[in-house]
Amino acid sequence: MPTEGEIDADINKRHDSGVTAKSSEMFELENQLESMKLTESKLRRQCNELAQDLKYTRDKAENDIQEALRGLGELSKTRRDIRKLQDELKALKDSEKQAVQDVKMQLDGEKKKWLKIEKSHKTEIEGLKRLVEEKKAETGELKKKITDLSRNLSAARAQAKATNNNTCPSPIQQKQSDGARPNRLAVSSIGNPLDRISELESEIARLKGIHEPHNCEQFSVASLEQLADAKALQEAAEAEVEGYRHFEHANKKLMEKHAADSQQIINLIKEMGRYKVRVKQLEDLAVKEDQADSDVVGSDDAKATVAATLELSAIVPCASVAPVTPQDNDAEIDDLKHRLHNAELEKEMFLTEYADYARSHEDMTAELNANFHEIQDLDAENVELIAKNEQLSSQLEINVQTLNAKFQDTEQQIAKAKEELTKEFQEKLDLLAEQEKQRTNALSTNQNLRAHLDDLGTSILSLSTPSAPKSSFLIRSTSPSIATNALDIPTAISDLLPNIALTIKIRPSEKRNWALLRHVQSAISTSSSLDILGPPDLVRNFVAGMQDVEKTFKEKTELAEKLEMAVVEAQDEIEMLKERVREVVICKNPRHRALKEELEAKESRLQMQSQLLAEWGEKEG
């Protein structure tokens, strides 16, 4: 039998072993927890690094896409600029050709014109010169004729004198007179010398008359003036021709500049073509290099063998030609090594350049692929936008139709509200008349009051006579329950005159009676007021009901007018929006959403108005 001490020791031992096991387990769990925490932190760092790498890659891809788009935009812009320059160049060339042709035609026309004018002036000058010479010759002939006639006249006078003296001329005088007389002026008979003298005088006068208006000096002066005018015209024509030559020179410069610009554009196009050919060559070179990557090691061995062969072949001829000393062989070997080193450096340079070209080719290929995919995405997005635009256009038309229908419904509601207002107003008037009738039946009839009212009616009939006073009025509207009374005008004359009672029987249910009361009130005086005589409770109810009905009718009339104005404004806005929709056929601009939002705002506004009408109808109902 174990003792109590042994049992306690055993229990303590077991407890210590359990505590030790638990502590070791806890330590192991703590270690696992620490390792898990480290793993978690490591994984988090890796995730952060991956996220950063992903972000960097995305940013780089976006930047590449933006660069590609920018490059495409610049390329398209350059193409558009080139096309625009070509069009401008063509238009400028056509305009310059047309201007040159116009200037040439104008210049040719002016040349022909001035040549014609110059020719006509020369012809005219030659004609004037000939005319001057003819006139000079004619003047000489006339002078000769005058001399002959004077001599003949002297001979005739002498002969006449001898005849008058009855003397016969000597044979010598007869011979002289016969010799001096011309053949064409021979005297037919000796008996009429005076007639011959008068004939010769008339001939001399005629010749002088012919010679007088054709003065040679006047012809000469006129010819010189015409010649000066012709020279001035010729100088003006030469100055104009010089101006046209200046224009032609400027036009030639413009054409040369145009040709230089055209040549520059052609050079740019050729340079672009060379760049394209260079890119294609680089692509072919990259393909060939990819095919030759597997043979790089073998080619290096072959080159080494060839280099060794070259070294041996370089040594053998030298040895075969002449004895070679070791120093010469060393120099040749050093030279060959130097050449081999240069060849290797050149090879490395070529390989580096090829690697650069390969990388640029890969980058360009990737960029072109990205641009191609981007263009495809843009085309798809464009198609989607066009479809969305068509859908929005159809939706816009549907919204316009819906708004038109709502406007029609609103107009119908307004008309219905007007009818309800009129009906309600009439019902209230009928209700007031019914209340008045019921209270009238409840009142007691007084015979004295009826007699007094009859007397008042008789006095009212007397107002229609011309002798009736008009200084003041007592207006009293009596019915079985209601009477209206106007206060007297507070004047000195009205204090002296008696009051006149005017009885007006009305029905409160008829609206025209109220208009009559207003006319009567405005007719009596501006300082008088309209009093209603009768039972106090009935008078108060009548006045309050009349005021409420008038106030309600006024408010509802104003509300209906406002609603009508709002409907008219909304219809105008709808028409304006329809016109804008008709103008926009296919809208590729995202700003078309503004129209949609505006239509939605108009629709919500109409809904609010419809809701206001509905609430007003419920309140009135």
Residue with tokens 């038109």: 404
Task: Decide if 617 contacts 417 (C-beta within 8 A).
Answer: yes
What are the structure tokens assigned to 512, written together?
Answer: 């025209």
Which residues 6+ apart lie within 8 Å of 473 measured at CB?
486, 500, 502, 524, 525, 528
Q: Residue 165 gets which letter from DSSP?
A: T
Q: How much of the chain, in percent, has pLDDT values that exceed 90?
A: 0
What gap in Å lies between CA 333 and CA 336, rounded to an integer?
5
Q: Residue 346 corresponds to which amino acid? A: E
**Tens digits of per-residue pLDDT, 124-170?**
778 777 777 777 777 777 777 777 777 877 777 777 777 666 444 44
What gap in Å lies between CA 374 and CA 66, rounded to an integer?
10
Residue 474 main-chain phi, psi, to 5 deg: -115, 105
Instruction: Write down the pLDDT at residue 482.
Output: 40
For 214, the 3-state DSSP assignment is: coil
Q: Residue 178 gets which letter from DSSP?
A: H
319 vs 119: which has the higher pLDDT: 119
Model confidence at 505, in pLDDT bands (50, 70, 90)?
Answer: low
Residue with tokens 């080494």: 304
- Name the strand (E) or helix (H) holding 325: none
Model confidence at 22, in pLDDT bands (50, 70, 90)?
Answer: low
Instruction: Write down the pLDDT at residue 168.
Output: 44
What gap in Å lies between CA 545 and CA 436, rounded to an integer?
11
Q: What is the rounded radius of gyration, in angstroms, for the C-alpha atoms of the chain?
A: 67
For 485, the 3-state DSSP assignment is: strand
Residue with tokens 């609103």: 410
Domain ranges of the chain: 449-462+470-534
Task: Decide if 472 contacts 489 (C-beta within 8 A).
Answer: yes
What gap in Å lies between CA 540 and CA 70, rounded to an integer?
87
Lowest mean pLDDT among 205-209, 307-311, 521-525: 307-311
- Name the strand (E) or helix (H) holding 466: none
Integer angstrom CA distances of residue 248 from 108, 192, 236, 244? 13, 83, 18, 6
What gap in Å lies between CA 291 and CA 309, rounded to an integer?
28
Mean pLDDT of 277-302: 65
75 vs 477: which has the higher pLDDT: 75
DSSP, residue by residue, 524-581: H-SS--EEEES-HHHHHHHHHHHHHHHHHHHHHHHHHHHHHHHHHHHHHHHHHHHHHH
For 510, the 3-state DSSP assignment is: coil
What gap in Å lies between CA 62 and CA 46, rounded to an integer?
23
For 479, the 3-state DSSP assignment is: coil
Instruction: Write down the pLDDT at residue 248.
Output: 76
Instruction: Write down the pLDDT at residue 4.
Output: 57
What are the structure tokens assigned to 109, written together?
Answer: 């026309």
Instruction: Write down the pLDDT at residue 493.
Output: 41
Nearest Cα residue to 227 out of 136, 129, 96, 294: 129
| 410 pLDDT more than 80 | no
What are the structure tokens assigned to 36, written together?
Answer: 């898990």
For 484, the 3-state DSSP assignment is: strand
What mean pLDDT value characterizes the chain? 65
Looking at the DSSP bridge assignments, the partners of residue 486 are: 530
| 98 pLDDT more than 80 | yes
What gap in Å lies between CA 534 and CA 476, rounded to an integer?
10
| 416 pLDDT more than 60 | yes
**Tens digits of per-residue pLDDT, 310-365?**
343 333 333 333 444 444 456 666 666 676 677 667 667 767 776 776 676 677 66
Sign of CA dihedral 303, 308, 314, 320: negative
| 87 pLDDT more than 80 | yes
Lowest mean pLDDT among 176-185, 528-537, 579-588: 176-185
Instruction: Write down the pLDDT at residue 463.
Output: 39
Q: Residue 518 corresponds to which amino acid? A: R
Residue with tokens 């949609």: 596
